[in-house]
Chains A and B, each alone.
Chain A
Amino acid sequence: MIFVELLCRYPYVTGTSVIGIKYKDGILMAADMGGSYGSTLRYKSVERMKPIGKHSLLGASGEISDFQELLRYLDELILYDNMWDDGNSLGPKEVHSYLTRVMYNRRNKFNPLWNSLVLGGVKKGQKYLGTVVSMIGVHFEDNHVATGFGNHLARPILRDEWHENLSFEDGVKLLEKCMLVLLYRDRSAINKLQIAKITEEGTTISPPYSLKTFWGFSAFKNPTLGAEGSW
């Protein structure tokens, strides 16, 4: 236990929440592009979602370097799978299972990968969306998932408004709604996000764009009207 501090480390460059939902044709995922170095916003073009093989899409929050390490592991995994050349390829369920094992084993050695991951994909018409939560190795599957602050701010909205067979536009609108709340209320969020979609055909990650925010409440304009001395 003495070397826990040395091994467990602290995360240095972190990404904030990732949100994923199932929709009619597959999976939609959203994440912003910020990498915070403690309380400074150091990197503003970090791509936190990457396609894995033909069928999966991985989004990560937490330590960016650990995410990059994971990508290398997964790269190796996919490479070896391709080398078999047997016409079969690893689907999202398999990749999810592999990730769970990796995370759990690292935590057991007190040397965790400081991430919360969202893995989604479609294979042979079957949609799969699961998360592997952080350093601990907890994993579960659901129709809508989120990491970090997204759990507190986005999940309530998703629980109310998600339904089976969302169209692409509705799905994007829903994700944008959640990302807007996160932008307002999460201090490490930035207004530059990407939306990724994965269907039977393949993966598409949109170019970065920003959301429109509204600050025009009359109460914000003159908050102490009638309440002199407060702020």
Chain B
Amino acid sequence: MHAGRFLEYSLHTVQDLVHHKLLHLIEKQANSGDRIDLQVRCLAPDLPKVPFAKAFEEATEIISFRFFVPPFVWQPMKFFGVGSEQRLKEAIRVVHDSAEKMVTDQRIELSNAGSLDDRFDLLSRLIQIKNPDNQGEKGLCGIKMSKTAIEVPPKGGFSFDLCRRNEMLFKKGVQPPSYRKTGTTIVGLIFQDGVILGADTRATEGPIVCDKNCEKIHYMAPNIYCCGAGTAADTEAVTDMVSSQLQLHRYHTGRESRVVTALTLLKSHLFNYQGHVQAALVLGGVDVTGPHLHTIYPHGSTDTLPFATMGSGSLAAMAVFESKYREGLTKDEGINLVCEAICSGIFNDLGSGSNVDVCVITKGQKEYLRNHKLPNPRTYVNPKGYSFSKKIEVLSTKVTPLKERVEVIEGGEAMEE
């Protein structure tokens, strides 16, 4: 809207009102010596506004009450017309009636006086501007009631309205939802021919396990994999991003990616965000220079190690590694040790659980062993199985193929540029 012009107009209106109306009134009263009652009522045509304003505020309050209770509470209240919903209906009715009355009053005045030029309120202006015959009363009511639409002209930038609502909710005791973390055990070790990575599969959201079997070993390149601990979204996003960057780099150079490339890309990204991207990673892979294993911390520092653990279960897993790791492990010994370390995390740390994923990377090949070990099987299964209570009868059958049969015509015309 034309913000500047509107402000000018409002200023004019107020000035006129004060100079021509209010000052005169007060002067007159001062001269006459009568006592005047400066309530809104006496300033003439504002009479219907008072119950109107009250009803409007009540309606707003009751509607905001709807935010605090779940829908299955206020919707039945609305349906049955009880409690606050009943008052809401009443309030809405009053508001509508007052608005309609105001509009019709103005119209009558218009038809009586011939023009509303000497009236300065917005409604009069709008009635005059628009076609006086076929005008939706509701439309004008709508315009009158939408205070906020007229108040703030839309500009760019962040709207902080919901921040106030969040604060209000927080004061009332409503907890904000927690981030989905992967309270985790992730490990990596270097063995004779390459690198073995391991991870558990539990993702937690505060005290609840939200994913019993998630994948924490992310693909970076055909010869590089990365385990992630911390906020699930952060680890996923960061590994995906670096994975695509590596792919582009591979196309550019025509060579196999190196682990240090991934390492540098990840650490510079994480350092840029000063630890706000909460991703703690164990990066491992085999490239032309040999097997490599690195840990990357959320603030962007890295370590190059022969064996590494990260996550909440890192101490339990590290205890196993520190006591049992030695150089030159064979593949099976390595996988066993990794499994032991992850199991130690699973059974001794509350943030880790479910199953063990293992990834073995050697020169030229990789083995992704998803759910290599399932140490938490479902031990009790109801022998009766599941049975539905009512007999299910087939009344009719209709088969709709989801894929259309498409005919391929050979030798069609080529697409134009």
Contact = CB atoms under 8 A, between A and B. Distances in A.
A157 B263 contact: no
Interface stretch (A3-11, A68-76, A80-88, A219-227): A219-227
A218 B263 contact: no
Contacts of A227: 259-260, 263, 289, 292, 294, 304
Nearest to B328: A218
B319 A157 contact: yes
Contact of A156 (B290, B302, B303, B316): B316
Interface residues of B, number: 27
A185 B309 CA distance: 12
Contact of A226 (B290, B316, B319): B290
Given A217-B306, A219-B306, A229 B264 contact: yes
Nearest to B288: A226
Contacts of A185: 315, 318-319, 322
Interface residues of A, number: 28
B190 interface: yes
B323 A181 contact: yes
Contacts of A159: 347-348
Given A218-B327, A226-B289, A229-B264, A153 B315 contact: yes
Contacts of B190: 219
Contact of B290 (A181, A217, A225, A230): A225
Interface in B298-319: 302-306, 315-316, 318-319
Contacts of A152: 315-316, 319, 348
Nearest to B315: A152
Nearest to A184: B322
B226 to A, nearest CB: 15
Interface in B315-341: 315-316, 318-320, 322-323, 327, 340
B304 A224 contact: yes
A228 interface: yes
Contacts of A229: 260, 264
A155 B323 CA distance: 13
B278 interface: no
A177 interface: yes
Given A219-B190, A223-B304, A230-B263, A153 B347 contact: no
A160 interface: yes
A184 B324 CA distance: 13
Interface string A140-167: 0000000001001111110110000000
A198 interface: no
Contacts of B263: 227, 230
B302 A157 contact: no
Contacts of B292: 226-227
A153 B344 CA distance: 10
Contact of B304 (A149, A154, A155, A230): A230
Contacts of B340: 160
Contacts of B322: 180-181, 184-185
Given A159-B347, A219-B190, A227-B260, A181 B305 contact: no
Contacts of A219: 190, 304-306
A156 B304 contact: no
Interface string B280-293: 00000001011010
Nearest to A154: B319
Contacts of B319: 152-154, 156-157, 178, 181, 185
A231 B263 CA distance: 11
Contacts of B290: 225-226
Interface of A: 149, 152-157, 159-160, 177-178, 180-181, 184-185, 217-220, 223-231
Can you list the 6 inter-chain pairs with the closest CB atoms, starting with the nearest? A226-B289, A219-B306, A152-B315, A156-B316, A156-B348, A156-B344
19 contacts: A153-B315, A153-B316, A156-B316, A156-B319, A157-B320, A159-B348, A160-B320, A181-B318, A185-B318, A217-B306, A218-B306, A219-B190, A220-B306, A226-B289, A226-B290, A227-B260, A227-B263, A229-B260, A231-B302
